[in-house]
Amino acid sequence: MDIDNLDEILKNFRRELPKISKTAQAIDRDASLAEISECAEEEGLHLLASILFEAEQAEFEETMPATTFEDMGSEALRKFRRSIPDSSKTAQAIDRGAKWEEISQCAEEEGIRQHQIAAIMFEAGQERLLSKKPR
């Protein structure tokens, strides 16, 4: 998703929100997409949350194409995995080393918050990128 387009979408949504809205406040302080998405979901702004989820996925795909959960080695990922039951399709996909797209699909089918998966994947991607930077 084009970042200029995303900025315009956020501006349009922001104009319609009252100042007391958590989503409006997150947009105003230029919070992360994950935080804005979480606020939007909490406030029932499902369209905005979905748009931001798609943007997070697109951003993640640019930095971490076709990688598995296990390859990322993030503590956030391990913590997330421990938080879901072994019988979950999402857990089973993680355990067998499925691609993140499949894991995300399972999570969505099971009602796991989309922004939660996106935020964890994005965080893992950032950790991986930082670990590859020369020091």
pLDDT in tens, 57-93: 776 666 554 455 555 556 667 777 888 889 999 889 8
Q: Is the separation of the CB atoms in 77 and 69 below 8 Å?
A: yes
Model pLDDT, residue 37: 86
- The answer to whether the Cα torsion of 35, 106, 84, 110 is positive or negative is positive
pTM of the model: 0.48
For residue 49, pLDDT over 60 is answered with: yes
For residue 134, pLDDT over 80 is answered with: no
Model pLDDT, residue 69: 55
Instruction: Give tens-digit pLDDT for 24-34.
Output: 999 999 988 88
Instruction: Give tens-digit pLDDT for 87-118.
Output: 999 889 888 888 777 887 788 788 776 566 66
Per-residue pLDDT band at 5 (split at 50, 70, 90) = confident
Task: For residue 116, give both structure tokens.
Answer: 């939660």
For residue 17, pLDDT over 90 is answered with: yes
| Cβ within 8 Å of residue 78, ≥6 positions away | none
Q: Is the separation of the CB atoms in 27 and 10 below 8 Å?
A: yes
